[in-house]
Amino acid sequence: MDADLIVIGAGFGGLGAALTAADSGAKVLLLEALSYPGGCASTFGKAGYRFDAGATLVSGLGPGQLFDRWARRHGLPIAVRPLDPVVELRAPGLRLALPPSREGLVATLLAAGCEEAPLRRFFAVQAAVADALWPTLDDPGRLPPFDLPGLIFTLKAAPKLLPALRWAGRPLGAVLRATGAEGQAPLRLLLDALCQITVQARAEEAEAPLALSALDYLARGAAHVEGGVGALAEALAGAVEARGGALRRASRARGLRRAGGAWLVEARGEVHRAPVVLANLLPQDLAALRGEGPPTGAQARLSSRVEAGWGAVMLYLAVGDHEGLPAHAAHLELVEDPALPFVEGAHVFCSLSGRGEVGRAPEGQRVITVSTHILAERLRGQPPAAQAALVQGVQDRMRALIAARAPELLAGGLRYDAPGSPRTFQRFTRRAGGLVGGVPRAAGWGHYRDLLPTAAGPGLWLVGDSVFPGQSALAAALGGARTARAALGRGPARRLLRG
Ligand SMILES: Cc1cc2nc3c(=O)[nH]c(=O)nc-3n(C[C@H](O)[C@H](O)[C@H](O)COP(=O)(O)OP(=O)(O)OC[C@H]3O[C@@H](n4cnc5c(N)ncnc54)[C@H](O)[C@@H]3O)c2cc1C
Residue 448: Cβ within 10 Å count: 13
Asked whether residue 93 is assigned to any structural domain, the reply reads: no
Ligand 1 pocket test, pick from 6, 12, 40, 350 with the greatest ligand atom count within 8 Å of Cβ, gives: 40
SS3 147: coil
Polymer length in residues for the chain: 499
What is the structure's pLDDT at 227? Answer: 97
Q: How far is the CA of 488 from the centre of ligand 1 (A)?
A: 24
How far, in Å, CA of 425 to CA of 185, rounded? Answer: 34
Q: What is the CATH number of the domain that holds 327?
A: 3.30.519
The answer, yes or no, to whether the previous bond of 85 is cis (omega within 30 of 0) is yes
Residue nearest to atom 45 of ligand 1 (CA): 9
Q: For residue range 399-446, list pLDDT tens digits in order.
A: 999 999 999 999 999 999 999 999 999 999 999 999 998 888 888 887
Tell me: do 265 and 324 sit in the same domain. no
Q: How far is the CA of 58 from the centre of ligand 1 (A)?
A: 13
Residue in 55, 43, 48, 83 with CA at minimum distance from that of residue 235: 43
Asked whether residue 86 is assigned to any structural domain, the reply reads: no
How far, in Å, CA of 32 to CA of 146, rounded? Answer: 29
Q: Number of folded domains in the chain?
A: 3
What is the structure's pLDDT at 497? Answer: 39
Q: Single out the residue in 379, 410, 434 at which a domain terminates.
A: 434
Tell me: do 318 and 423 sit in the same domain. yes
**Whole-prediction pTM value?**
0.95
Q: Is 309 in the pocket of ligand 1 (CB under 6 A)?
A: no
Tell me: do 411 and 470 sit in the same domain. no
Q: Give the helix ranges, DSSP H, for 290-441.
A: 297-307, 376-379, 384-405, 422-429
What is the structure's pLDDT at 450? Answer: 67
SS3 78: coil
What is the structure's pLDDT at 490? Answer: 53
Tell me: do 318 and 421 sit in the same domain. yes
What is the structure's pLDDT at 407? Answer: 98
Residue 322 CA: distances (Å) to CA of 44, 272, 362, 411: 24, 52, 14, 8
SS3 259: strand
Tell me: do 22 and 41 sit in the same domain. yes
Q: Which atom of ligand 1 is nearest to the CA of 351?
A: 8
Q: Single out the residue in 418, 434, 450 at which a domain terminates.
A: 434
Residue 125 CA: distances (Å) to CA of 128, 130, 160, 272, 402: 5, 9, 12, 50, 35
Those residues of the chain that have pLDDT short of 70 are 450, 490-499
How far, in Å, CA of 88 to CA of 326, rounded? Answer: 12
Tell me: do 301 and 325 sit in the same domain. no
Q: What is the CATH number of the domain that holds 37?
A: 3.50.50.60
What is the structure's pLDDT at 182? Answer: 96
Tell me: do 50 and 146 sit in the same domain. no
Q: Is 26 in the pocket of ligand 1 (CB under 6 A)?
A: no
Residue 98: Cβ within 10 Å count: 24
Q: How far is the CA of 311 from the centre of ligand 1 (A)?
A: 12
Asked whether residue 92 is assigned to any structural domain, the reply reads: no
Asked whether residue 467 is assigned to any structural domain, the reply reads: yes
Tell me: do 24 and 138 sit in the same domain. no
Q: Which atom of ligand 1 is nearest to the CA of 252?
A: 42
How far, in Å, CA of 200 to CA of 309, rounded? Answer: 8
Q: How far is the CA of 14 from the centre of ligand 1 (A)?
A: 10
Q: Single out the residue in 219, 236, 254 at which a domain terminates.
A: 219
Q: How far is the CA of 69 from the centre of ligand 1 (A)?
A: 22
How far, in Å, CA of 228 to CA of 230, rounded? Answer: 5
Its domain, for residue 319, covers 310-434
Q: How far is the CA of 285 from the centre of ligand 1 (A)?
A: 14
How far, in Å, CA of 406 to CA of 296, rounded? Answer: 47
Ligand 1 pocket test, pick from 472, 482, 483 with the greatest ligand atom count within 8 Å of Cβ, gives: 472
Tell me: do 299 and 333 sit in the same domain. no
Asked whether residue 95 is assigned to any structural domain, the reply reads: no
Q: Give the helix ranges, DSSP H, for 281-361.
A: 283-289, 297-307
Residue nearest to atom 13 of ligand 1 (CA): 55
Q: Is 439 in the pocket of ligand 1 (CB under 6 A)?
A: no
Tell me: do 321 and 410 sit in the same domain. yes
Residue nearest to atom 11 of ligand 1 (CA): 472
How far, in Å, CA of 178 to CA of 331, rounded? Answer: 32
What is the structure's pLDDT at 162? Answer: 81
